[in-house]
Chains A and B, each alone.
Chain A
């Protein structure tokens, strides 16, 4: 999908004219990801790298218990929950980097037949330090054996989209945290995925940079119409970005509640609607915390 500069720069203006009803009609017609009754435990026999160190003595530990999610094409979903509630595991399963113990995950293209792949954007440290910005963005294209001049073209386009053209020859360590995450976004977009999976991508950034990146991400979502699944523990972030906010529970190991947000972006956290939503989400999370505590 080609992005022209005018489209990119124009998204802010268009933002306010957005016709939400019309949008959600298109969205609801085609589910792109369906997660059905997914169970996942980490235990003695798990060969997942994250549990390697403690797998020896601990009995199996359930992180996902019968999770059901349907994500529609073009939707921006945020998942919020306390740390350790299984958000990242869920994302890894949807990305195909981990397998559920039972249950079914399907990601289908528009024709309903071919599977599509979600590309992950991690919190930090997933860029390759031995490659330049340009080479990092080209990585997936190189793996796909796309000829050199073509992948240079594609990569340059996405580097430009995230505003890093001047820095394309830099190495990862020469970039600030915000620039690194922009490169990660460009690298994911260069794969031209239908789904972007974001695992707390802005958690390590300062507030100023983070707000800048919200704006850019909202713009990218609008121009590219990608489906985005965004995991965070930051409620504000979830409220500012999501079409739907899924609250994940550590006690239930499942989605606890879902909130639809029918507000145009950029959103104002001080607005009464968001304020009320935030209060409700906090109540949910507080309830979850008590439930976990009472079980011990």
Chain B
């Protein structure tokens, strides 16, 4: 009764932003995607049909599809995908654990944080493929050699984003929480981590893409028996362009799947909850 007018205004405002929840791919989007794919395949077929490039070096959509079928049938593609994904997940998990821990230590010990962050930024720009010779000699042609490169490619990104995400949490959250008796572990769990989550997710998404780039490169150079990068190299050795393009498409699809389905979803969810989408989302 007291604040009825205010409430009415309030609920109007609240209602407006409420409609932005639960966004999903609508039919319009789906139609656009189909149209784009059709145009892409059409163009590809056109280039093949015009015989601009030698047939052996420029495969047609049909022969590429046949190659995918062959690779699936003999099992090498499935095993390759699983091996690569396993390396990706393992390497990325190691990066998150190490990068997260060092990042937290950097927040805790300020002098260490300052020096370590410039060091880490230097290593962030360091091309991950340049770790390969080092890794081959130190570890050898095996899974661990590949994992080493993947970790080196992504750990610094996790480290830096953990460090900066926590440092950029508005101090007022800590003031308010401390005023309500939160300290130590409770402050960490209930304030620091959730407050840093939106920028942490952005950093982790970037780290994932670094890990993915490095992994395929490392798989091509550090020869083991399995993995998508390995199938790619085999394709080159046998001058089998169909196989190369087939694997490239697989790699593209996996990348897209992870980025769009997992990371983007996660980011969207957090941003919507926080109300960070209100201006960009329309």
Question: Interface on A for B, CB 8 Å cutoff?
Answer: 9, 49-50, 92, 95-97, 117, 119-120, 122, 125-126, 128-131, 139-140, 142-144, 163, 166-167, 170-176, 178-179, 187, 191, 208-209, 212, 215-216, 219
A-chain residues with CB within 8 Å of residue B6 when the two chains form the complex: 176, 178-179, 208-209, 212
Supposing A95-B179, A125-B170, A143-B180 touch, asked if A130 and B194 sit within 8 A by C-beta, the answer is: yes
Nearest Cβ distance between residue B3 and chain A, in whole angstroms? 5
A-chain residues with CB within 8 Å of residue B3 when the two chains form the complex: 163, 178, 212, 216
Given contacts A122-B175, A167-B14, 12 further A-B contacts (CB under 8 A): A126-B173, A128-B195, A130-B195, A130-B197, A142-B190, A171-B273, A171-B274, A173-B17, A175-B14, A176-B10, A208-B6, A212-B2
CB distance B14 to A128 under 8 Å?
no
The A-contacting residues of B in range 168-212, CB under 8 angstroms, are 170-173, 175-182, 186, 190-191, 194-195, 197
Supposing A142-B190, A208-B6 touch, asked if A119 and B13 sit within 8 A by C-beta, the answer is: no
The A-contacting residues of B in range 1-53, CB under 8 angstroms, are 1-3, 5-7, 9-11, 13-14, 17-18
For A143, the closest partner residue in chain B by CB is B182
A-chain residues with CB within 8 Å of residue B11 when the two chains form the complex: 166-167
B-chain residues with CB within 8 Å of residue A172 when the two chains form the complex: 275
Compute how far the CA of A219 lies from the CA of B170 in the bound complex, rounded to whole angstroms: 32
CB distance A49 to B278 under 8 Å?
no
Could you list 11 examples of A-B contacts with CB < 8 Å? A92-B175, A120-B179, A126-B176, A128-B191, A143-B180, A163-B2, A170-B14, A171-B273, A173-B275, A179-B10, A212-B5
Supposing A125-B172, A179-B10 touch, asked if A174 and B17 sit within 8 A by C-beta, the answer is: yes
Compute how far the CA of A76 lies from the CA of B1 in the bound complex, rounded to whole angstroms: 25
Interface on chain B toward A: helix, strand, loop, or mixed SS? helix
Q: What 10 pairs across the A-B complex have the smallest Cβ distances?
A: A173-B275, A140-B180, A126-B176, A49-B171, A130-B194, A176-B10, A174-B14, A143-B182, A129-B274, A120-B179
Question: Interface on B for A, CB 8 Å cutoff?
Answer: 1-3, 5-7, 9-11, 13-14, 17-18, 170-173, 175-182, 186, 190-191, 194-195, 197, 273-276, 278
Nearest Cβ distance between residue A97 and chain B, in whole angstroms? 6
B-chain residues with CB within 8 Å of residue A144 when the two chains form the complex: 181
Nearest Cβ distance between residue A159 and chain B, in whole angstroms? 13
For A119, the closest partner residue in chain B by CB is B179
Compute how far the CA of A120 lies from the CA of B177 in the bound complex, rounded to whole angstroms: 10
For B4, the closest partner residue in chain A by CB is A163
CB distance B13 to A130 under 8 Å?
no
Supposing A125-B172, A163-B2, A176-B14 touch, asked if A130 and B274 sit within 8 A by C-beta, the answer is: yes
A-chain residues with CB within 8 Å of residue B171 when the two chains form the complex: 49-50
For A118, the closest partner residue in chain B by CB is B179
Nearest Cβ distance between residue B279 and chain A, in whole angstroms? 11
Nearest Cβ distance between residue A137 and chain B, in whole angstroms? 11
Compute how far the CA of A97 lies from the CA of B7 in the bound complex, rounded to whole angstroms: 33
Compute how far the CA of A170 lies from the CA of B173 in the bound complex, rounded to whole angstroms: 19
Compute how far the CA of A143 lies from the CA of B178 in the bound complex, rounded to whole angstroms: 10
